[in-house]
Chains A and B, each alone.
Chain A
Amino acid sequence: EIVLTQSPGTLSLSPGERATLSCRASQSVSSSYLAWYQQKPGQAPRLLIYGASSRATGIPDRFSGSGSGTDFTLTISRLEPEDFAVYYCQQYGSSPRWTFGQGTKVEIK
C-alpha cells in the first residue's frame, strides 16, 4: 500500500499570500495518478486537481499541481478568503486501494 505523507500539517498564511503544500509518497505513484481535494468545515471534499496537474472543472487557475514519482505539490498562487480549508492528496494508481494523505490545514494567520 502506498502511504502519502503531507506537509506541513498546518499552514498559517494571510489572504493574498502564496501557499505551497507537499505530498510525498512511500513509493512511486503510477503515471502521476495523484489528485488533490479541498474540504471546508461541514462540507464534502471537492476535487481540485487530478493527474497531478490537471485542474478539475470550475477550479480557478490560482490552484495548480505539479510533481511526479514520489513528490507532489499543490500551489495556491494568491489565497482568497474561501481557500482556507483542509487539503488532501490521494493516489489512485495503486488499485484496488486508494489512499489519502492525512491532510494539510490552511488557516488564516
Chain B
Amino acid sequence: EVQLVESGGGLVQPGRSLRLSCAASGFTFDDYAMHWVRQAPGKGLEWVSGISWNSGSIGYADSVKGRFTISRDNAKNSLYLQMNSLRAEDTALYYCAKSSNSIMVTGYFDYWGQGTLVTVSS
C-alpha cells in the first residue's frame, strides 16, 4: 500500500523558514517523480514544486521560485521542501504527491499524503 506521510508544518513568523518532509513507503521511491501541492484554507489546489526521480529536473511555481527548494533522498525514501522567507500567503495545507512517472513531464498525481499545515503569522 502506498503511503505518504508529511511532517514539519507549524506556526512560523513571516520571514522565517520551515522544512517539510514526506516519508514514502509501499512503492519504489526512486522510480518516480514527486511533487508538493498546497491548499490555502477554503481554497483550491496549487502546484508548488516537483522533482524528477534522480533530482535532475526540478520545477517551481512562480509564487515560490527563489524562496522554496525541493529535494529528495532516495536512500531514505524521503522528499523535502525547504521554505525560506515565508509570507502570510504561504499559509496552507501542504500535500506530498507521487507522480505517475519518473520524469517531470506528463505525470499526473496518483497518490497523495494527508498534508501538513503551515501557518505564517506574527
Contacts and interface: CB of A to CB of B under 8 A. Distances in A.
Contacts of A72: none
Interface in A34-78: 35, 37, 39, 43-47, 50, 56
Contact of A46 (B35, B47, B107, B112): B112
Interface string B97-122: 00010001111111111110000000
Contacts of B47: 97-100
B104 A44 contact: no
Interface residues of A, number: 26
A100 to B, nearest CB: 4
Classify chain B: how many residues form its interface, as a range. Answer: 20 to 34
Contacts of A93: 105-106
A77 B69 CA distance: 43
A97 B44 contact: no
Contacts of A97: 47, 59, 61
A46 B44 CA distance: 14
A96 B59 contact: yes
Which of the listed residues A37, A43, A96 has the most CB atoms from chain B within 10 Å of its own CB?
A: A96
Interface string B78-92: 000000000000000
Interface of B: 35, 44-47, 50, 57, 59-61, 95, 100, 104-115
Given A44-B95, A50-B108, 14 more contacts: A35-B108, A37-B109, A39-B45, A44-B113, A47-B111, A50-B100, A88-B45, A90-B45, A92-B106, A93-B106, A95-B105, A96-B50, A96-B57, A96-B104
